[in-house]
Structure 1
Amino acid sequence: MTKPLSPESIAIVKATAPVLVQHGVAITTRMYERLFVDASIKHMFDQAAQASGEQPRRLAAAIVAFAQNVDNLPALAGAVERMAERHVETAVKPEHYPKVAEALLPAIRDVLGEAATDEVLNAWGEAYWFLADVLIRREAQLYTDAEVTAA
């Protein structure tokens, strides 16, 4: 079972939603710049969607939705399911999640500067790993279901 988010992290993440509406695409664009230093990760992504800005916009919208609903996670169930399905289609594995965290959290600081305090980054780190755990568990089930179907 996924460890629940602390009330403090929920409050901080929710409070950052307006900032993410304003700066989310800049953060996700910077995150992808950091992430794509690893060619093995870069090849997993549709580079046309990167070049057009579509993928950074989609991820920014997902992050904003997560921030706005971090205290109402059932509202995100459909989005989480679509994300898990897409991750399975593109062969995302649990070992990829730390690489995304190592790109996302510094990207927040790169874009927001001093506004991205250690407290904010710690709350987002907790929130990221909470969501990552949910996705990893769901993706594991989807991978198992696909193996059973293929057998």
Structure 2
Amino acid sequence: MSRILSAETRAIVNSTAPALQQHGVAITQRMYERLFVDPAVKAMFDEAAQESGEQPRRLAAAILAYAQNIDKLEALTAPVMRMAARHVDTGVRPEHYPMVANALLPAIRDILGDAATDEVLSAWGEAYWALAEILIGKEAAMYAQAESNALERIASTR
């Protein structure tokens, strides 16, 4: 079951959209710096996409889209499905989500400084986990389907 975000949380997250538009790439670059202190996590990512800046730009755009559409998440159905599929392709598991939260939220504060109040970070923490629950659910279904498909292939070769 996904979390229901309060109107206040949604309003705070939505109000950060202009800052995210301006500083989103710097936030995601900082987040990846924090995240990649763990070599095992870093190995899950396409190094070329990191070096070119493509991955930080894509993530910044996704975070901005989430902030802008926090009241109409149905607008994000296709991007969420693409993200979940990519996560399954790269082996993302539920235990990776706390690592990202622990890198993203401090990165927001690092880049936005005093504008990243405790209230803003709390709202983004709630919003992050609401989206993480959606992704984890979609990814679980995709992993289960892939396993089922593999078992069917094995059974059909016997």
> For this structure pair, what is the TM-score category when the shorter chain's length is used for normalisation?
over 0.9
Structure 1: distance between partners of 2:143 and 2:79: 18
Q: Distance in 1 between matches of 2:27 and 2:123?
A: 16
What letter matches 2:97 in structure 1?
A: Y
Counterparts of 2:3 and 2:129, CA distance in 1:
10
1:41 paired residue number: 41
State the Cα deviation string for residues 83-129 of structure 1 (Å, max 9, x = none).
Answer: 00000000000000000000000000000011100000000000000
Q: Which amino acid aligns with 2:105?
A: L
Question: Quick check: 1:112 aligned with 2:112?
Answer: yes
Instruction: Give the Å deviation of 1:138.
Output: 0.6
**TM-score, with structure 1 as normaliser:** 0.99
Alignment length (residue pairs): 151
Match for residue 80 of structure 2? 80
Larger radius of gyration: 2
Structure 1 stretches of 5 or more lacking a match? none
Q: Secondary structure at the match of 1:2?
A: coil
**Aligned equivalents of 2:148 and 2:125: distance in 1?**
34
Structure 1 runs of 4+ aligned residues shifted over 4 Å read none
Any idea what the Cα deviations from partners look like across 1:61-103, whole Å, max 9, x if unmatched?
0000000000000000000000000000000000000000000
Residues 2-151 of structure 1: pairs in structure 2 closer than 5 A: 2-151=2-151
- 1-side partners of 2:130 and 2:109: how far apart? 20
Question: What is the alpha-carbon distance in structure 1 between the residues aligned to residue 10 and residue 34 of structure 2?
Answer: 26
CA distance in 1, matches of 2:3, 2:10: 13
Superposition CA RMSD, Å: 0.4
Q: Which string of whole-angstrom CA distances, capped at 9 and with x for unpartnered residues, describes residues 115-149 of structure 1? A: 10000000000000000000001100000000000
- C-alpha separation between the residues in 1 aligned to 2:50 and 2:114? 27
Q: TM-score, normalised by structure 2?
A: 0.95
1:26, distance to aligned residue in structure 2 (A):
0.2
Letter in 1 for 2:21: V
2-structure distance, mates of 1:131, 1:3: 9
Q: Which runs of 5+ in 2 are unaligned?
A: 152-158
Which deviations, in whole Å up to 9, do the C-alpha atoms of 1:8-67 show, x marking residues without a partner? 110000000011000000000000000000111000000110001000000000000000
